Structure 1
Amino acid sequence: MDTPGFRAMLLEISNKLSVENVASLKFLCTEYIGKKRLEKIDKGFELFECLMERAAIGADNTDLLRKLLNDIGQTALLEILQDYETGSRSPDDGLEEKHREDINIATEVIVEHLGKKWRQLGRKLGLQQTQLEGIQEKHSRDLEEQVRELIRVWMKIQRENARVKELIQALRDCKQNLTADLVEKKLREP
């Protein structure tokens, strides 16, 4: 993820925060930033800058930001964060076309058969709880889109190392053997 894109996303979030939101965020950030420095902060982007200096948030580390926005009840702003995370994945992410195609085929089968066990699969794939919550919040009424988003986030994390065999193994680890078998069968089709 590029730092300018990350900073642009932070600025967009900052511009949508009210004075009360910034005060709440400051209250939640006392363990990361000293009280004296917090007193001088009155804008969201200033707070984000301090968190970046302390490596609490970063272009590849958005979990704390997600948690903070969730804690102050600004779930609408989580969509900006989610768009940044998923929009950063481009066809130029280093993933070979064959692997991308296999993952796309597997995604369709998984979306069709996985259902409510998608969170368990997400944990097996190494996603954090805040990422899973963000996915559920973004697509709260659409189970299929939650599964698609789960795989998109996993691909973003894995980048060029994303392989369909990892998806299949994670399905088997979740006792979703039928779905894993269906993915393998679909991949074998000409």
Structure 2
Amino acid sequence: MDPFLVLLHSVSAGLSSSELTELKFLCQSRVSKRKLERVQSGLDLFSVLLEQNEMSPENTVLLRELLVSLRRQDLLRRLDDFEAGAAGGAAPEERDLRAAFDIICDNVGKDWRKLARHLRVSDAKIEAIEEKYPRNLAEQVRESLRVWKNSRRDDAAVSHLVRALRACRLNLVADLIEEGQRARALQNESGDPVSLSESWDSDSPASGASR
């Protein structure tokens, strides 16, 4: 069974009628009025978006935006779980990049604008991200990283992120990313899971830290 379809079924089952109405409103620019009138459930809406290639297992941006607009953290966690599972089947470079994104989102905080500028994300795009997610700092950070990745295409690499972090004096965050890369490399060589719990104190504040 397709994991992405299972995710969409789960999300649909968790929507209230008012939330479905809100999603239909938000999709007016993407789905014709005639099609929206026939939508009676989340699955109906997702089916239309799939048909129009607005979302896919490889492109979950729109789904995330819709769930963020509903402020449904429980459904967002399901999406996170799906993306983490997809990352497990990705190439090692892609897994490292996704892991780096997670660490940055958890630790950079309000310094994300400085990091985004070092990654050559324009001020106009930074402002657009702030308008898009006005009350969700984690999504602001993640969206800025998506914008950077899309701009670099196949050239996006963890090393670029580490250099930018160190240029912003976010050295502890850069260290966490490099520790994670080393641990995954050891795991790949040994085939055994490697715990990073002894490598750093997860409760230590990372934002703005330098050594």
Q: CA deviation at 1:116?
A: 4.3
User: What SS does the aligned partner of 1:55 have?
Assistant: coil
1:71-86 equivalent positions in 2, closer than 5 A: 71-86=69-84
Q: Which residue of 2 aligns with 1:142?
A: none
Structure 1: gaps spanning 5 or more residues: 138-146
Give me the whole-angstrom Cα distance separating, in 2, the residues matched to 1:53 and 1:33.
11
Q: CA deviation at 1:47?
A: 0.2
Residue among 139, 160, 166 paired with 1:166:
160
Give me the whole-angstrom Cα distance separating, in 1, the residues matched to 2:137 and 2:6.
22
Aligned pair count?
A: 161
1:34-73 equivalent positions in 2, closer than 5 A: 34-73=32-71
User: What SS does the aligned partner of 1:89 have?
Assistant: helix
Structure 2: gaps spanning 5 or more residues: 180-211
Q: Which residue of 1 aligns with 2:189?
A: none
Q: Is 1:95 paired with 2:76?
A: no
Q: Which residue of 1 aligns with 2:138?
A: 136
Give me the whole-angstrom Cα distance separating, in 2, the residues matched to 1:4 and 1:54.
18
TM-score (norm 2): 0.55
Give me the whole-angstrom Cα distance separating, in 2, the residues matched to 1:35 and 1:74.
26
Residue among 10, 13, 28 paired with 1:12:
10
User: What are the Cα deviations for residues 5-32 of structure 1, in whole angstroms up to 9, with x where unaligned?
Assistant: 2111111100101122112211221111
CA RMSD of aligned residues (A): 4.6
Give me the whole-angstrom Cα distance separating, in 1, the residues matched to 2:170 and 2:83.
31
Q: CA deviation at 1:79?
A: 1.4
Structure having greater relative contact order (Cα 8 Å, sep ≥ 6): 1
Residues 45, 164 of structure 1: alpha-carbon distance in 2 compared, 3 angstrom cutoff: same
Residues 7, 119 of structure 1: alpha-carbon distance in 2 compared, 3 angstrom cutoff: farther
- Residues 69, 78 of structure 1: 8 Å contact kept: yes
- Residues 6, 59 of structure 1: 8 Å contact kept: yes
Residue among 28, 31, 40 paired with 1:30:
28
Q: Which residue of 1 aligns with 2:207?
A: none
TM-score (norm 1): 0.60
User: What are the Cα deviations for residues 55-76 of structure 1, in whole angstroms up to 9, with x where unaligned?
Assistant: 2212122222122222233333
- Residues 22, 43 of structure 1: 8 Å contact kept: yes
Residue among 165, 171, 176 paired with 2:168:
176
Give me the whole-angstrom Cα distance separating, in 1, the residues matched to 2:77 and 2:136.
8
